[in-house]
Chains A and B, each alone.
Chain A
């Protein structure tokens, strides 16, 4: 090595004053000369070094972001909330495929035989309800015990995950509606679905979310399926204006109960 970086150049390099070709030249030299490297090291404060190292480690360790996290953060959700929401089991491909299969069967039935539309109108609203049931709870979330013992509000986690899974599963059901041969009537499941979801959240104050969702879905679907099997005209009921009014009343009533719940209010208020 025939030359070394002068003290003045080292200082300008470290402070960032040295620019362009001269900075590149010093950098190339420092990479191969331990003497000058030590001179540069001596000029950099330990705090700055720690900061740089911490930033490097942070980039290296940064958890991989799933597709769900990327979508959620693009809607403005914080990185940390997006991580907690994206692990909801019902956002996993296996769950979504199962739900899509149920809807696919309902669409096929509605095209294949008379009364098939009723089957779609029974199944479509319970798909998002089941997805909510599969988003949080003992036996559903492998870290449920640890999350309950953490200070993060469980109700907030339930609300965030429910919103995300309803958006995805609801979109699936909405797409399926376009393949049902009744035109605009196929959207008649939307309001009952909203009613079932809000009732599920109310019932989840007393039962676990999976049990609340399964119970509400069963109470809605089983009597209707039984009537359908017995050749009763279920379509007329499901497409009637009165059912839509009842559903709307249930939505309003449930939301009133939910928004008066102090735990839910505090979860919604929390700005993280």
Chain B
């Protein structure tokens, strides 16, 4: 895997909270999913990779460049597309005007070429019909797509997307998967999400972060395999399992050490993730 971005022993503290506590991993071409519970340090990590924030200690490299050096930071930004967790919009701007504004920030000074690029990304997120509408008059899902379109400007080689599917309905999420999957062809995409289905559907690689540390890095099937032999179904709730919930079919899905003769089932990526994060939380509390 040719490395697009790497972080080594990254630490960042906010007051009494250690947001990142020695996170180390690297990502290559394709879509990498970043999973983790709330407060795991995902947004801090993404902001550091997007050159918006700096770590207290540790090393960051994007395309071999060091964002702590001003000149190299600009080189990284020229190849970067960033969708923040809570993207803001200029008051009164239409979809076209907003994306045009971001295009200017991305140094697209030739008006005709810039407008052609703005039209291209608006079309890519299927918003051509509302191109002249004010952004603030659009639904939350549409605004998310506007922000996503702005991150695609200039065909960046590294896309950093912070919870892009938050607030999207199922149809929009499917459309989004199509977009990100297309964006991930020939470039690196780092996608932070709470949606394990998105990771299973889209990502070639997964990083699980909790309490500022990397708990896992591997393929989605590797993450599912974490729960191999530890997921079973029973007609009644069995005590001793780490997690139990009633499924739509009325049976109880258990995660944890199975009793003898348990009806084992194939684990999903979500099972692996839940076991990993649950076990780490227990160890951290112990």
Contact = CB atoms under 8 A, between A and B. Distances in A.
B88 A142 contact: yes
A146 B87 contact: yes
A80 B119 contact: no
Interface string B36-72: 0000000000010011100000000000000000100
A151 B106 contact: yes
Given A57-B115, A143-B89, A83 B109 contact: no
Contacts of A147: 105
Interface string A139-150: 001111111111
Q: Which of B84, B97, B105, B150 has the most CB of A within 10 A?
A: B105
Contacts of B102: 143, 146, 150
B88 A149 contact: no
Contacts of B50: 149
A83 B101 contact: yes
B82 interface: yes
A64 B90 contact: no
Given A54-B116, A263-B70, A149 B111 contact: no
Interface in B18-45: none
Interface string A49-74: 00000110110011110000000000
A154 B285 CA distance: 43
Nearest to B87: A146
A61 B119 contact: yes
Contacts of B100: 63, 83
B115 A146 contact: no
Interface in A151-188: 151-153
Query: How extensive is the interface on chain A, given as a class?
Result: 20 to 34
B105 A152 contact: yes
Contact of A92 (B91, B93, B96): B91
A79 interface: yes
Contacts of B96: 61, 63
Interface stretch (B73-81, B170-178, B229-237, B247-255): B73-81
A58 B105 contact: no
Contacts of B114: 80
Interface in B175-221: none
B118 interface: yes
Contacts of B150: 146
B72 to A, nearest CB: 12
Contact of B101 (A54, A87, A144, A272): A87
A33 interface: no
Contacts of B47: 145
B112 interface: yes
B107 interface: yes
Given A142-B89, A143-B102, A146-B87, A58 B78 contact: no
A272 B131 CA distance: 27
12 contacts: A58-B111, A61-B119, A63-B93, A63-B100, A84-B104, A87-B91, A141-B88, A142-B88, A144-B88, A146-B84, A150-B106, A151-B107
Interface of B: 47, 50-52, 70, 74, 77-78, 80, 82, 84, 87-91, 93-94, 96-97, 100-102, 104-107, 109, 111-112, 114-116, 118-119, 131, 150
Q: Closest 4 CB pairs between A and B? A: A142-B88, A150-B105, A151-B77, A149-B82
